[in-house]
Amino acid sequence: MSTKAYINRSEIKNYLAKVDPGVLDYIQQCEIQIDKLAEIGYQLSKERHLPTLLNLIIEEGMRITNSDGGTLYMMTEDGRLGFEIMKNKSMGTDMGGISETPIPEHIYPVKLYTPEGKPNHANVSAYVGLTGKTLNIPDAYENDQFDFSGAKGFDQRFNYRSKSFLTIAMQNHEHDIIGVLQLINATDPESGEIVSFSEDMQKLIESLASQAAVAITNVRLIEGLENLLESFIQLIADAIDEKSPYTGGHCSRVPALAILLAEKVNRIKEGPFADVQFSQEDMDELRIAAWLHDVGKITTPEYVVDKATKLETIYDRVNELNARFEILNRDAEIKYLRAIAKTEAAGELKQLKDNYDATLIQLESDRLFLNECNTGGEFMADDKKERVREIANQRIMLNGEEQNVLSEDWVMNLNISRGTLSNAERDKINDHIVVTIDMLEKLPFPKHLKRVPEFAGGHHETMIGTGYPRGLKKEDMSIQARIMGIADIFEALTASDRPYKKGKTLSEAMRIMGFFKQDHHIDADLFDVFLKEKVFQEYADEYLDPKYIDEVDIQKYLEIKPKVLEQ
């Protein structure tokens, strides 16, 4: 049976304390530094804001080495070392990073190569940025390998003494140098004198630089992925915009309106939203959902999305309709000319002419009437629908065959009661939300964006289950999805770039929104925030033509109560 020996740390420390107390102190200091370095590593790994991360790196480097100053350089896209942060404790300098003081414009990035294309090995930070080697210089004034004329000139101007330098490269996992950390003037904590950077300090800072490079790379990777996602979303919006300039404007305005309303909800300290607080990730999730809420329209035919008139398909068939009336006019003229050729009686000729003129007048009246019907509107009366059917029954010769002047499909489209879409076309439009949900649910969104499909897919639902596609009720929906509903409706009402309707004024749009509130079509509490916080007004000032902006009686709509629902 084997036995294992376990080393007791306390016993070793007690032994060392008897042999050499100085060794024990050294070990304890090392333990403190290692523990602190581990803590720094943890902080670096969880920080996601790059300026804060860079500030943490330089401050911890200065703390570990008790340095008076430090500079953090980051590699630029054109292969130079740009000044990101500059700090000096004794001079009270704190520039760049999260500081309110930016790096002065006259401080240019360090060039890694001379104008002749040779490596700039005379500059300390450039040398480290090119080779990746650490430089630990005890006294710059006694060093003749590198050019410290800049530091000496600085010292002379500001009565400073730049002495010890520790310059370390930050390399990522691909061994690319992404930045350089330079610490200046290590200071003895007891005497306050400037000392050189010890070998132990150098090793600790090299470890810090290594951890920092990993953390910076991770942050940049995350930012890169987020930028890629944003660009992909913008690409989709652009595709919809190319497909239809009308929905493209909608796709860009709904996010602005949704975020504006969400920000107002965040500020409320009383009422049903007093405890609601959206984080930045929540806001990003809502914004992305708003951008993607109509992505399903990519599959909707253009002639349906952009259907400006009732007879429009791939082209507006009203021109064909007018051509048919030209044929009817021609037929009437031929009939008239044939009739007068058979008679010479003055009375009959006059009657034929009167009949012919009356026919032309009636045909033109019918043509203008059908053109008017083709434009669509909010309501079409039954008597107008009947007149369309009567006109349709007129006979015409086309391609050697006698037929009605209007086909059943034309009659059906011209008799659309509201707008320009038939029931089948409206179903096709409505189907875009189903496609949107299906498309978004197939995407592997990261954890903080998992609710994008739910937010995006709920903007046609109502508070009482009468919406589509899932017939959700208020309790089934997140606040963000309900915000989306209000943003989508209000933008659509006030939009002036639709081919099938005119934009509504603020007062007209709010009157309709008031009906929606009363009928539980939208969230009444959110709509009250929309009113009280004047979200509609801020949006209008930014996005609407001034001619559509008029006075709104806010109190009138706040007093509207949702209808009492039958149990």
Question: Can you state the angle between helices 245-267 and 199-243, rounded to 10 degrees?
Answer: 130
Please give the share of the chain, as a percent, with pLDDT higher than 70.
89
Is 144 part of a structural domain of the chain?
yes
At 2 the pLDDT is 45
Q: How far apart are CA 355 and CA 347, in angstroms?
A: 12
At 220 the pLDDT is 86
- Residues 182-199: pLDDT tens digits? 999 999 988 999 999 999
At 14 the pLDDT is 65
The tokens for 287 are: 């914004």
The whole-number average pLDDT for the span 425-433 is 79
Domain boundary among 186, 221, 256: 221
At 376 the pLDDT is 79
CA nearest neighbour of 484 among 472, 498, 496: 472
- Residues 367-410: pLDDT tens digits? 999 998 888 777 888 999 999 999 999 999 888 888 999 989 89
Is 191 part of a structural domain of the chain?
yes
* CATH (domain of 550): 1.10.3210.10
Same domain for 433 and 416:
no
- Neighbouring-strand partners of residue 74: 82, 179
Is 8 part of a structural domain of the chain?
no
Same domain for 431 and 392:
no
Is residue 296 exposed (0-12), middle (13-18) or buried (19+ Cβ within 10 Å)?
buried
Local confidence band at 49 (pLDDT 50, 70, 90 cut-offs): confident
CA nearest neighbour of 504 among 514, 488, 516, 492: 492
Residue 433, pLDDT above cutoff 80: yes
CA nearest neighbour of 329 among 282, 394, 415, 259: 394
Is 381 part of a structural domain of the chain?
yes
Q: Flag the least confident range among 31-45, 146-160, 167-181, 484-498.
A: 31-45
- Does the pTM of the predicted model rise above 0.85? no
Question: Can you state the angle between helices 524-532 and 506-518, rounded to 10 degrees?
Answer: 150
Domain boundary among 420, 448, 470: 420
- Residues 199-238: pLDDT tens digits? 988 998 998 888 888 888 888 888 888 888 888 887 887 7
The tokens for 267 are: 């500020």
Q: How far apart are CA 388 and CA 380, in angstroms?
A: 11
* CATH (domain of 84): 3.30.450.40
Q: Are 450 and 486 in contact (CB under 8 A)?
A: no
Q: How far apart are CA 8 and CA 137, in angstroms?
A: 40
- Residues 87-124: pLDDT tens digits? 999 999 999 999 999 999 889 999 999 999 999 999 99
At 241 the pLDDT is 65
Range of 412's domain?
318-420
Q: Which stretches does DSSP call E strand in 76-217?
A: 80-88, 93-96, 110-111, 135-137, 165-171, 177-187, 194-195
DSSP state of 316: B
At 33 the pLDDT is 62
Local confidence band at 240 (pLDDT 50, 70, 90 cut-offs): confident
Phi, psi of 130 (to 5 degrees): -90, -45
Is 10 part of a structural domain of the chain?
no
Is 236 part of a structural domain of the chain?
no
Domain boundary among 398, 420, 442: 420
Q: How far apart are CA 91 and CA 86, in angstroms?
A: 11
Q: How far apart are CA 138 and CA 146, in angstroms?
A: 13
The whole-number average pLDDT for the span 236-262 is 79
At 480 the pLDDT is 97
Phi, psi of 463 (to 5 degrees): -80, -10
Residue that wins the pLDDT comparison between 4 and 419: 419
At 15 the pLDDT is 59
At 135 the pLDDT is 97
Distance of CA 501 to the CA centre of its chain: 28
Same domain for 198 and 63:
yes
Q: Are 219 and 250 in contact (CB under 8 A)?
A: no
Please give the share of the chain, as a percent, with pLDDT higher than 90.
54
Q: Are 396 and 328 in contact (CB under 8 A)?
A: yes
What's the first-to-final CA gap in the chain, in angstroms? 79
Residue 69, pLDDT above cutoff 60: yes
At 35 the pLDDT is 64
At 41 the pLDDT is 66
Same domain for 429 and 414:
no
The whole-number average pLDDT for the span 242-256 is 74
At 3 the pLDDT is 46
The whole-number average pLDDT for the span 44-52 is 76
Same domain for 511 and 412:
no
The whole-number average pLDDT for the span 354-366 is 92
Phi, psi of 172 (to 5 degrees): -85, -175
The whole-number average pLDDT for the span 420-433 is 79
The tokens for 281 are: 């990730």
Local confidence band at 294 (pLDDT 50, 70, 90 cut-offs): confident
Is 139 part of a structural domain of the chain?
yes
Same domain for 192 and 251:
no
Same domain for 51 and 109:
yes
Same domain for 296 and 430:
yes
Phi, psi of 453 (to 5 degrees): -60, -40
At 476 the pLDDT is 94
The tokens for 209 are: 């630089």
Is 58 part of a structural domain of the chain?
yes
Same domain for 213 and 72:
yes
Helix (H) or strand (E) holding 159, with range, is: none
Residue 1, pLDDT above cutoff 50: no
Same domain for 438 and 337:
no
Residue 24, pLDDT above cutoff 60: no
Q: Are 481 and 458 in contact (CB under 8 A)?
A: yes
CA nearest neighbour of 376 among 323, 414, 425: 414
Q: How many domains does the chain have?
A: 3
Q: Flag the least confident range among 6-15, 143-152, 405-414.
A: 6-15
Same domain for 504 and 446:
yes
Same domain for 212 and 84:
yes
Q: How many helices (H) and strands (E) does the chain have?
A: 20, 10
Mean per-residue pLDDT of the chain: 87
Residue 496, pLDDT above cutoff 70: yes
